[in-house]
Structures are given as C-alpha cells and as structure tokens.
C-alpha cells in the first residue's frame, strides 16, 4: 500500500513543483498592479495577513489586467494569429512528415535504425544555431537564392526572410521530427496482410492506402499534430529571428511585455490566457493517448 502510494505521489509532486506552483505565482502577478519598482509590480494579495488579507484581496479584486487584454486589439489579434500560424504549420508538417514516416516504415528492417537516427540528428545541434542557419539560407544573399539564381529559375532574389513564409519554414523544420516519430510508430505496427486483403477484395493500392493505412495510423497523426501544434502556438524564437515586424505571435508579444515594456502584470495575464488556451489541446491529447492504451 505504501509503495503504491509512493508511486502515485511522485508524478503529482512533480506537477505540483513544476506546474501548479509556478502557475499560482504567475496568476498572482497577473492580479497585481504595475509599479516602477523591482520587481515592477505591486502585489494585491498579502499572504502574511492571513485570512484577513485574502478577504481584502477578493473584495478589491478587479481583474484589471485581464480586462485590458479584451480592450486592446493587439492581444486578441496575436492569439488569433498564433492559432492560425500554428494550425497551418501543423498541416504543413503533416503533409511533409507523413510520406517520410511511411517511407521509413516501408524501408527494410536493417535501414530503419539509420533512418531514425537521421530524423533525430538535428536535435544534437543547438536549436538557436539551427534557426540562425535558416537566416543565412533564406536571406536575399543566402544559399537558397544563390541556388535558384544559379539554376536560372529566378532573376532577382526572393524576399523570404522576415516574412510569415520564413516562420512557417522554421516551425515545420524544427518540429517535423515530433510529427514523424508518432506516425512512424503507428505505421510500423501496421499488419501488411490487411492491405493484401483489401487488394484481394478489389481495392486499388491508393484506395487500400486511404481506407486501411490512414485510419490505422490515425493515432499517430493525432499525437504528432498535438506535439507540433502545442509548442508552435507559443513559439517566440522563430518568429523573432525569421519573422518580420508584421509577424504577430503571442510568444513575441509576451516577451515584449516582460522585457521591453516591463509590464509584468499584463504579461502574466497574457501567459495565463495562453495556458488556458493550451489546456484544451493538452486534454484532448491525453484522452487520445488513453484511448490508444485502452485499445492495446
């Protein structure tokens, strides 16, 4: 009994230390007032005063910073833009990642470990260095424009860097392994005899792929899509380095509020709302994982 209780308590203590406590701290800052001090906010809740401090806090609670998010167009536009960019990036990653995962699953057994290593090889290099490398590739004097002009496909350099296109390229490149690996895991377990049976019943190869392979790999597709979408919506480094001034993402706005404007209460409110938005796909992802475990 004690052993079981210990095993159950470990993940809950982990969540308490790394999720719940930081969230409560951020929420406390979000309910504070901006001030010219260090730190740059005035707490509205005085825990040292005990229940009287809590009673005073709830009596004066005005949610001013959260109300401000609804009044300024910048914030809701940033949320909508982040959802749009994350959704499109997830779809692009799926279109690129599924054929790669399918090819890996169809490869001879002795080649699969090598192909797997090639997929995870970029993780051996710093994320920041890889993004900086894309800046060199996509710039007007970069390798991509030099290659296209050398082949005679274009006469003038393409303007890709500092656009949303560069952001899509950066996000898809960065999170593509998170799409490939779950799909590959699902396709590797696929029973080839099911495809043979479908073809024996009159299905063409494409129809058998659409009616058998795609549905049986649905779990991997859903898992990969969530693993790309969830971090992409709050991405900060890629839009800052590859995107231009017109690229609006909530992670970029969050950084500017914290470090440029030093408006910690508003920045904390932005972070709380972003977390509440992310809870929805996280819950859906967990339910999908639970259904897969039950199916097995």
User: Is residue 266 in a domain?
Assistant: yes
Q: Tokens 């792929």 map to which residue?
A: 209
Count of Cβ atoms closer than 10 Å to residue 76 Cβ? 14
Distance of CA 285 to the CA centre of its chain: 13
Asked, for residue 25, whether it belongs to a domain, the answer is no
Q: What is the pLDDT of residue 93?
A: 96
Residue with tokens 């920041």: 128
Helix or strand or coil: residue 33?
Answer: strand
Contact in structure between 288 and 222 (CB atoms under 8 Å):
yes
**Helix/strand/coil for 199:** helix
How far, in Å, CA of 271 to CA of 253, rounded? 10
Is residue 13 domain-resident?
no
State how many domains the chain has: 1
Instruction: Report the CATH number that the domain containing residue 210 is assigned in CATH.
Output: 1.10.3720.10
Query: Is 30 contained in some domain?
Result: no
Please tell me the predicted confidence (pLDDT) of residue 133: 92
At residue 109, the pLDDT reads 87
Distance, in Å, from the CA atom of 43 to the CA atom of 31, rounded to the nearest integer, reads: 7
Per-residue pLDDT of the chain (296 residues; tens, 9 = 90+): 677 777 777 777 877 777 788 888 888 888 887 777 677 777 776 666 566 656 665 656 667 888 888 888 888 999 999 999 999 999 999 999 999 999 999 888 888 889 999 999 888 888 889 999 999 999 988 889 899 898 888 888 889 998 999 999 999 999 999 999 999 998 988 877 787 787 777 778 888 888 888 888 888 998 899 899 989 998 989 999 998 878 889 988 888 888 888 888 888 899 888 888 888 777 877 777 777 676 66
Residue 289 lies in a domain: yes
Domain for residue 264, yes or no?
A: yes
Residue 165, domain extent? 69-295
pTM exceeding 0.95 = no
Is there a domain that residue 271 lies in? yes
Which 8-state DSSP code applies to residue 124?
Answer: G
Query: Is position 153 within any domain?
Result: yes
Torsion of CA 188, 191, 197, 199, to 10 degrees: 0
């Amino acid at each position: 009994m004690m052993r079981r209780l210990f095993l159950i308590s470990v993940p809950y203590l982990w969540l308490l230390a790394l999720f719940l406590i930081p969230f409560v701290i951020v929420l406390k800052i979000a309910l504070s007032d901006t001030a010219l001090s260090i730190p740059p906010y005035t707490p509205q809740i005085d825990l040292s005063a005990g229940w009287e401090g809590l009673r005073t806090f709830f009596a004066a609670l005005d949610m001013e910073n959260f109300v401000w998010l609804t009044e300024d167009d910048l914030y809701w536009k940033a949320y909508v833009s982040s959802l749009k960019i994350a959704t499109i990036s997830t779809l692009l990653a799926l279109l690129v990642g599924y054929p790669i995962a399918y090819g890996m699953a169809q490869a001879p057994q002795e080649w699969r470990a090598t192909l797997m290593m090639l997929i995870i090889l970029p993780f051996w290099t710093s994320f920041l260095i890889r993004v900086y490398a894309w800046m060199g590739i996509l710039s007007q004097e970069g390798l991509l424009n030099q290659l296209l002009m050398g082949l005679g496909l274009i006469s003038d350099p393409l303007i890709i860097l500092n656009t949303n296109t560069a952001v899509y390229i950066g996000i898809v490149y960065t999170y593509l392994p998170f799409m490939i690996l779950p799909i590959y895991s699902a396709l590797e377990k696929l029973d080839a005899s099911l495809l043979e049976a479908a073809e024996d019943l009159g299905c063409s190869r494409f129809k058998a792929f659409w009616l058998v392979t795609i549905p049986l790999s649905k779990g991997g597709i859903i898992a990969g899509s969530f693993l790309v979408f969830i971090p992409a919506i709050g991405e900060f480094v890629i839009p800052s380095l590859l995107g231009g001034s017109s690229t609006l993402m909530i992670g970029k706005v969050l950084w500017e509020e914290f470090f440029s404007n030093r408006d910690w209460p508003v920045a904390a409110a932005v972070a709380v709302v972003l977390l509440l938005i992310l809870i929805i796909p996280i819950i859906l992802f967990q339910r999908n994982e639970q259904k897969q475990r039950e199916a097995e």
